[in-house]
Amino acid sequence: MTQISGSPLDENSYVLETRALRAYYRMKYFGIDREVRAVDGISMHVRKNEIYGIAGESSCGKTTFIKAIAAAIRPPLEIVAGHVNYNFINNDLYALPSKERSAIRWRHLSYILQGSMNVLNPVRRIHKTFEDFAFRHMHMGRSEFEQEVKRHLERLRLPAEILRAYPHELSGGMRQRVCIALATLCKPEFIIADEPTTALDVVVQKDVLAMIRETQSEFGSSMIFVTHDLAVHANITDRLGIMYAGRLVEEGRTADVFSNPMHPYTAHLIASLPRIGDIHPRNALTGSPPSLADPPKGCRFHPRCPLAMEICRHENPALTTLAEDHRVACFAASATVQPTSDEKPQHPEALETVR
Amino acid sequence: MIAVFRDLFRYNGEFAIGFMIMMVILGVAATSFFSPYAPIDSYLVAMDAPPSAEYVFGTNSRGQDIFWQLTFALRNTLAFGFIVALISRILSLAIGLISGYAGGAVDRVLMSVNDTFIVIPLFPLLVLLYFVLRDDMTWFVLALVMAGLGWAYDARLIRSVMISLRTREFTNTSVFSGMSMPRIVTQEHLPYVLPIVFSTFMNNMNWSIGLEVTLAVLGFTDVDTPTIGGMIFWANQHSAMVSGIWWWYFFPTLFVTLTFIGLFLLSISMNEYIDPRSRLDRMGNS
Amino acid sequence: MTGPLLQLEGVSKTYRRGGLFGREEFRAVDNVSFRIEDNEPQVFTVIGESGSGKTTLARMILNMVRPTAGTIFFKGQDLASMRGARARRIFMKDVQPIFQNPFEAFNPLKRVDRYLLMTAKNFTPARSSAQLEAAADRALKKVGLSIGEVRGRFPHELSGGQLQRVAIARALIPGPSMIVADEPVSMVDASLRMSIVNLFRTLRDDLKVSIIYITHDLATAYYVSDRIIIMRKGEVVESGSARVVLENPQHSYSQLLKSAVLSPDPHGRGVLTGDSAASQQARASPHPQIDNLEPQVR
């Protein structure tokens, strides 16, 4: 399979690349079989030293997607098809033996999660948690390791005293900062941030975002940043992918997506954002997000789409490059914009029709 | 209900095995009604006969057919466990609900009583009661005493579930829908509590049967009512192991072990079934 | 009857945190006063971060929690003087809540229409099942749903936005004059958020319902509110007309809040810096106080 994006960058500059990734939940309970197609054919890549944002509503599959790229697949979730390639392993993540797969974690690939309490052990002091997570990956002596942790905290402008604290003694914002420090200690090439600021108050949120941004640019890591809050994406991400019902519907440079949203769903999301100083009435989308156990045929957005055409009911639009570094999966958008000429407009795996 | 049962049987291995074991046990216990001998009569058949076509499980040194003895023993032991579990469930449900719902001083008083019962050393207490009551310590009195001692732990569990239910948002929705508190408790909260009651029922039966067997083996119970423990007690009295009458131990032990396993399997399969998450997943598709 | 619909006079709520060694008092709400007039329905917004006491305030207005000091009058009646199930029912007919998490607002094991019918039965003259359904349907129509869409449905079969609208419909059935909405959109997806907020406008304008909108989100507050108060650690730091306050906040905390709102216009990288006053402060103190204690209310 050749390169799937229209980007002129060479393949080596990708840190992560997924190809037609499908991850389904397959459940069997007391005779009821169910298949939830939470990630259904996502092809994307994350470049070196960038923050790639993923936006989408609850149950659009964004959490499943990051589980898939983080090799955190447990039944009933299964990888059904597709590839997850990282440049630091030069290979498909799921082709690795599971032992090597877990060795990647933390050293090359780390996470910042929403609930810091899930990461920080409530009955251990912070420095113990640092040891638990990172010591064996750092390959150094204990005192050397402690020095390194202190240096790291200093670099992130966190006081060294927090190492002696228990998680509950810290405020939510401080705990989240500790998690960021923990995730970046081994200077991983890739960081997955899953709603890292959603539970925080607005004032704290801004500072934590700033810290994430600074840390990321200092270490040159690449990052996937998942949140449903578009205002956060506007402020932190370089490129943005919009997910809807298990698929990527639009992807581009954040500024382009905001200034020129091409998918009607994206356009709606951006138009409905309230702004202080503007009381212009905002319209809401009608209908509800589809169930991933029984998604609509064709374009999954068509039942709610103001631009829906006949073809949308039957065929699934492929993610097509419609402007520089800007891909959209919409028949209506493709009809009004000519795909940029020197590229193949579609990649084959996205053309598979939905059952 | 029947559909639930059918699905459990079909798709839950633990349930199927546990259910079949318990059916066998109950079947054996039920045959006691057709026994040719009265349970306490002795020296009716040849003594110390090993298992054979005539005496399937053999006979003992008191001239009793072990198979028919066992049917009575199983029936009594199961009935004992059932009565203890039933009474103690009623107690823990009532006390847990009242404590969790009323809160405040009522809660504090009930829970201090509750905690006292949790920390009481049961075994010495039961032995002491046996020495005090002696002949009055019948099978039924023992069941009542054990029920009175066996509710505390689960009452605390039910109370904590009630407290968390009371702070759930839907309780407030129910209040503002004009429902009265007793109604909210019975209609909104009980569906969360009853599965706990059912699942702890099996555990409690196991606990009480185990304790009864222990007491009986040591002779601290009414040995004239045949129970599994009572059978082992008599086997001990006649030094059956020394005389090589292994079947006198073997069959009671086998059947009580099967009972434990059967109840345990039923209890864990119920647990899986009543786990709210899997319950919701199933509801989503039915 | 004229006069204020709702009037708070010096309302405070103190929780005691008891430890083995000494007790600590925690003021969740500290001396809050405001009034909402009866003759002009409005969206009255309470803004605050976690630990600001806004949820405690909402629970006191809903008469679920008694203030430790001060008085709350609803239509001239002191809530503390309300005794008995009957008086409570009359109050609930007039004041209804909407809660934060739509997935938690209904018992997951029960059908959602049950709550609609129950509310209709307890607060309206409807008696027959056809009348009850009609009452529920009328309320559902106001939020853009119909009884056919919710009849026999369990909460997990509906989306968060649908559930929140059902919750609003339920609150509307008794014909209340005031709705207290505690963070009603914080758990609702972005594409549906505005439909809920727009609904508040409609309720105010068409049904003359006053809404107490409790939120931490300044942008929707600006979009929908008539008046706001901004709370910090139980105290009101600023109040007034929503547009005036949010466009030109006077109190330093209000200014800080406004400055922290992320603008949805992309700036590219580098705009976020960690040098704001708040972040300096946060980094200076390694053990920030446990400032988000919101005690569970019995």
- pLDDT band for position C56 (50/70/90)? very high
Domain contains B116: yes
- pLDDT band for position C109 (50/70/90)? confident
Q: C282, A255: Cβ pair inside 8 Å? A: no
Going by C-alpha positions, the residue among C226, C261, C260, C253 that lies closest to residue C237 is C253
Looking at the predicted structure, is the pLDDT value of residue A328 above 90?
yes
Instruction: Quote the pLDDT of residue C47.
Output: 94
State which of A133-137, A274-278, C120-124 shows the largest mean pLDDT: C120-124
The amino acid present at B240, given as its one-letter code, is A
Percentage above 90 pLDDT, chain B: 29
Contact A300, A334 (CB under 8 A): no
Residue-range definition of the domain harbouring residue B158: 2-41+57-283
Domain contains B52: no
Going by C-alpha positions, the residue among A321, A235, A217, A300 that lies closest to residue A41 is A300
Q: C292, A289: Cβ pair inside 8 Å? A: no
Domain contains B203: yes
Domain contains B51: no
- Burial pattern B236-258, b for ≥16 Cβ within 10 A else e, equals eebebeeeebebbebbbeebbeb
Instruction: Quote the pLDDT of residue A7.
Output: 42
Percentage above 70 pLDDT, chain B: 93
Q: C223, A279: Cβ pair inside 8 Å? A: yes
Rounded mean pLDDT of B73-90? 93
Percentage above 90 pLDDT, chain C: 51
Looking at the predicted structure, is the pLDDT value of residue B174 above 60?
yes
Domain contains B264: yes
Instruction: Quote the pLDDT of residue B81.
Output: 93
Looking at the predicted structure, is the pLDDT value of residue C172 above 50?
yes
Rounded mean pLDDT of C119-132? 92
Rounded mean pLDDT of C100-114? 89
Which range is least confidently modeled, A116-125, A273-282, B18-27, B227-236? A116-125
Give Cβ neighbours of residue B187 (< 8 Å, ≥ 6 apart). Answer: B179, C110
Architecture of domain C4-258: 3-Layer(aba) Sandwich (3.40)
Burial of B128 (0-12, 13-18, 19+ CB in 10 A): exposed
Percentage above 70 pLDDT, chain C: 86
Q: C107, B179: Cβ pair inside 8 Å? A: no
HSE (side-chain half, CA atoms, 13 Å) at C176: 32
Contact B230, B73 (CB under 8 A): yes
- CATH code at B217? 1.10.3720.10
Mutation target to probe the B interface, by most B beta carbons within 10 A, among C63, C96, C107 is C107
Q: Residue B12: list chain A partners with CB under 8 A.
A: 30
Beta-ladder partners of A112: A193
Going by C-alpha positions, the residue among C226, C158, C153 that lies closest to residue C192 is C158
Going by C-alpha positions, the residue among B110, B105, B34 that lies closest to residue B71 is B34
- pLDDT band for position C285 (50/70/90)? very low
Neighbours of chain B (3+ CB pairs under 8 A): A, C
ipTM value for the complex: 0.84
Q: For chain C, which residues make up each domain, given as ranges?
A: 4-258
- Of A11 and A162, the one with more pLDDT: A162
Model pLDDT for residues B94-128, shown as the tens digit of each residue? 999 999 888 788 889 999 999 998 888 888 888 88
Nearest CA in chain B to A27: B281
Rounded mean pLDDT of C34-54? 90
DSSP-H helix ranges across chain B:
2-11, 13-30, 66-102, 104-119, 122-133, 139-149, 152-166, 169-176, 181-183, 190-217, 228-237, 246-274, 276-283
Looking at the predicted structure, is the pLDDT value of residue B171 above 80?
yes
Domain contains B47: no
Instruction: Quote the pLDDT of residue A343.
Output: 44
Which range is least confidently modeled, C63-77, C207-221, C273-287? C273-287
Domain contains B49: no
Instruction: Quote the pLDDT of residue A78.
Output: 87
Q: C282, A174: Cβ pair inside 8 Å? A: yes
Which range is least confidently modeled, A47-61, A245-259, A281-295, B257-271? A281-295
Total domains in the fold of chain B: 1
Looking at the predicted structure, is the pLDDT value of residue C298 above 80?
no
Which range is least confidently modeled, A119-128, B25-34, B253-262, C56-65? A119-128
Instruction: Quote the pLDDT of residue C132.
Output: 94
